[in-house]
């Protein structure tokens, strides 16, 4: 089916969760090996700290390692690409009172809050949008963003202090 659909890119996320010590992990490894040998496609495996996991351990792990190039990534730097990412996320908002460009103007603040991590940025904007819908403001402002709690990692890197939580009521 993938060949008939002319699939030329396969993305496999959460690869760090694959465990060769389980039957399911062995079967998944065998399937991925089969696919790489029989599909004319590029495979991208994404995971966290894969070099420190058991992903490349043992026979199956070394077979997988022999088919992969490890590319370490990190947080986005505060640059035009980051602003473009913020603009893309802002472009998906469907808030009636939100002023386009607000989040792009807050790119530096958003980078400081999230440490340049896409998942943290996405969570922050999504939570702010949900809050804006629930409170009826239908817009995201910097003051609204400061009330949103995000992941522990991002919050602990910004001045050592967690973001204050909005009181209920």
Query: What local confidence, expressed as pLDDT, does residue 157 receive?
Result: 66
Spans of the chain below 70 pLDDT: 157-169
pLDDT at 158: 64
Given this model, what pLDDT does residue 105 score?
97
Q: What integer pLDDT is reported at residue 168 of this predicted model?
A: 37
Cβ within 8 Å of residue 143, ≥6 positions away: none
Per-residue model confidence (pLDDT) at position 8: 94
Q: What is the pTM of this model?
A: 0.71
For 61-104, what is each residue's pLDDT tens digit? Answer: 888 888 889 998 889 999 999 999 999 999 999 999 999 999 99
51 neighbors 57 (Cβ within 8 angstroms): no
What pairing do the DSSP bridges indicate for beta strands 42-45 and 9-12? parallel
What was the pLDDT predicted at 166? 39
- How much is the pLDDT for 167? 36
């Amino acid at each position: 089916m993938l060949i008939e659909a002319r699939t030329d890119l396969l993305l496999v996320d959460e690869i760090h969760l694959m465990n060769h010590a389980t039957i399911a992990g062995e079967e998944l490894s065998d399937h991925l090996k089969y696919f790489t040998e029989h599909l004319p496609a590029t495979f991208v495996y994404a995971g966290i700290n894969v070099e420190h996991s058991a992903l490349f351990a043992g026979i199956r792990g070394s077979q997988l390692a022999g088919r992969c190039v490890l590319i370490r990534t990190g947080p986005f730097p505060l640059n035009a690409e980051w602003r473009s990412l913020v603009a893309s996320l802002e472009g998906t908002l469907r808030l009636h009172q939100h002023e386009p460009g607000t989040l792009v103007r807050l790119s530096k603040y958003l980078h400081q809050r999230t440490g340049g991590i896409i998942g943290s940025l996405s969570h922050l904007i999504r939570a702010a949008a949900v809050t804006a819908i629930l409170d009826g403001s239908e817009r995201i402002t910097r003051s609204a963003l400061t009330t949103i709690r995000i992941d522990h990692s991002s919050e602990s890197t910004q001045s050592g202090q967690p973001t204050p939580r909005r009181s209920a009521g």
